[in-house]
Chain A
Amino acid sequence: MANFTRRKFIQVAGGAAAISTLGFPAIVGAAGGKKVVVVGGGVGGATAAKYIRMADSSIDVTLIEPNTEYYTCFMSNEVLSGHRKMESIKVTYDGLKGHGVNVVHDTVTDIDAAGKKVMTAGGQTFEFDRCVVAPGISFQDNIEGYDAAAMEKMPHAWKAGEQTVLLRKQLEAMPDGGVVAIAAPPNPFRCPPGPYERACQIGMYLQAHKPKSKLIIMDAKDKFSKMGLFKQAFERYYKGTIEWVGASDGGKVTRVDAATNTLYVGDTAHKVDVANVIPAQKAAAIAEKAGLTNDAGWCPIDGRSFESSMQPGVHVIGDASVASPLPKSGYAANSEAKVCAAAIVELLNGREPGDPALVNTCYSVVGPNDAISVAMVYDLQDGKLGKVSGSGGLTPSDSSPEMRSREVQYAYSWFENIKNDSWG
């Protein structure tokens, strides 16, 4: 019970705070009713908040998110190629307000599962009957020298926003004939096909504007998502431009020197013009602080309700949760959020959650008029999330240009719909 002392402390501290601010509305919504607090306004958190309200408008839902606008990670690679503007990956919280979600822009500093309270940096305390934690990811220290300062020099761009803009600017500033490196992370990580789609998107930019340049993907793994289809795209569109180096061939970056833009694989130095370093990942810090994470840094859950296996009453969805075999993708987060929302509505109305149904669909735009996808249907099998046998799979490697071009249009359709389904 490593968390016991900490939680005790929170209870005491929380009590003290309430007393010290007597007369002020420090404890929000303390009287009666059914209250849900959602921590995090990414795709998972936003969808959960919206779908709880859609299913039962008698439930009081508060979503706490520090940012007033959010940039989707999905499609942010198209910003790097210049095919898309930042504006198009921006969403706001106005849509959720329309569903009666109480949106609070503040940073959650702790979650007291036993005391059923969420605390924020702004000094507010929110009581809950059920809490949904959708905090996204943070980074592990698997690459020596990749600290906060190095991030500003060698952007990860793995949380869309300023980092995306920074990486784009670096690509624009790079001379023709320069070398771009993408250091791809070890499993598990947010958006498994992301680094490779990014390579394709940057590849399109280089070929159009800086044709003498090269892009090298230095990978911490030997295999990756949609590998056959990506390798086909590298060969088809980016021969001589994109090179992939797996871990066993010296691709695993162990150290960086941000001052000289150098990536090291052991003692071997690779000096590049633009370095996009994507470190290993884990659940965001708040999940760890709230006692929701396992030894690997991710949050185990019950697949029926996404309730934490570690803290009853708290549910974890999206990239932070261990929902395998679902990947850490936007669609998975959206799908998990709906299962979680339905379960919470049942639980708060004194009923047992029903069986879940989930889907993942993920598109990667790999070339001009060419997108590939992976899809899968999931359900609960012997109490655990599992793939529905016979369902899903990849775009066939011999699919026609006509079908690939349709996949681009469906990718853009998916993007508009999932944005609207989550935040709209």
Chain B
Amino acid sequence: MGCNKKALVALIGSVLMVGATQVNAEPTATMLANTCAGCHGTEGKSVGPASPNLAGISKAYFIDSMNGFKNDERPGTIMNRIAKGYSEAQIDAMAAYFAGLPVYKAEVPHDAAKAKMGAEVYDKSCAKCHDENGALPDDDAGILAGQWLPFLEYSMADFQGGHREMPKKMKKQVEKLSDDEIAAVLNYFASQK
């Protein structure tokens, strides 16, 4: 490991080369996250009517979602195509960015009567895992409170249709619910402000 002159020259040469051409400094987390805003709203606050808010969602859930899309394990429209454009490190950086923002709950149009009925369904069937009426990011189940209703409906349709894997506990609960009860609880989540 002596100071080989040849190696040193080569090393200096390569450093200069890197400096000169500015090879692949990673885009910042903000730069990466800003590309999402056209569909998910400025700083992840979606103004609807279907795209989910990303502000405040947990890092683990964001990474899990992106990998799900990337590997075609979670159904989507364009997200499966977009997620494939990001490296693990980039997804990690975006996840940290959105997790660092305060949780955002949108003013979502919903059926008030259904939402009222949904409160009971929530208490009975969902509250154990989806804490704080679906507003707690740290339960790693995604933020459901104040999410746009079509997004919640699509997600549930994917779970029920077997296109997206449900955790065992959730599957057990969902199977016990009627269509009306499910519609009600989705309206309940959407109604959270």
* Interface residues of A, Cβ cutoff 8 Å to B: 51, 55, 331, 334-335, 338-339, 342, 352, 354-359, 361, 373, 375-377, 379, 383, 388, 390-393, 395, 399, 402-403, 406-407, 409-410, 412-414, 416-418, 420-421, 424
Cross-chain contact B41 with A421 (CB below 8 angstroms): yes
Closest chain-A Cβ to B47's Cβ sits at a distance in Å of 5
**What are 27 inter-chain pairs, A to B, with CB distance below 8 A?**
A55-B30, A334-B37, A338-B31, A338-B34, A338-B37, A339-B31, A355-B25, A355-B27, A357-B32, A357-B34, A358-B35, A359-B35, A359-B38, A361-B38, A361-B82, A377-B35, A377-B85, A383-B21, A391-B81, A392-B84, A395-B77, A406-B50, A406-B77, A414-B51, A416-B48, A420-B47, A424-B42
Closest chain-B Cβ to A315's Cβ sits at a distance in Å of 16
Closest chain-A Cβ to B190's Cβ sits at a distance in Å of 14
Cross-chain contact B46 with A413 (CB below 8 angstroms): yes
Cross-chain contact A417 with B40 (CB below 8 angstroms): yes
Cross-chain contact B39 with A354 (CB below 8 angstroms): no
The answer to whether A409 and B86 touch (CB under 8 A), given A342-B31, A361-B39, is no
The answer to whether A391 and B85 touch (CB under 8 A), given A338-B34, A406-B77, is yes
Cross-chain contact B48 with A413 (CB below 8 angstroms): yes
How many residues of chain B get a CB closer than 8 Å to chain A's CBs?
Answer: 38
- A361 CB contact (under 8 Å) in B50, B78, B154, B157: B78
The answer to whether A373 and B77 touch (CB under 8 A), given A334-B38, A390-B84, is yes
Cross-chain contact B78 with A390 (CB below 8 angstroms): no
- The closest CB in chain B to the CB of A419 belongs to B47
Any A CB within 8 A of the CB of B175: no
Closest chain-A Cβ to B175's Cβ sits at a distance in Å of 21
The docked-state distance in angstroms from the alpha carbon of A416 to that of B45 is 11
Residues of chain A with a CB closer than 8 A to B39's CB = 361, 410, 413-414, 417-418
The docked-state distance in angstroms from the alpha carbon of A409 to that of B151 is 9
Residues of chain A with a CB closer than 8 A to B75's CB = 403
- B31 CB contact (under 8 Å) in A334, A354, A402, A420: A354
Closest chain-B Cβ to A34's Cβ sits at a distance in Å of 19
Any A CB within 8 A of the CB of B122: no
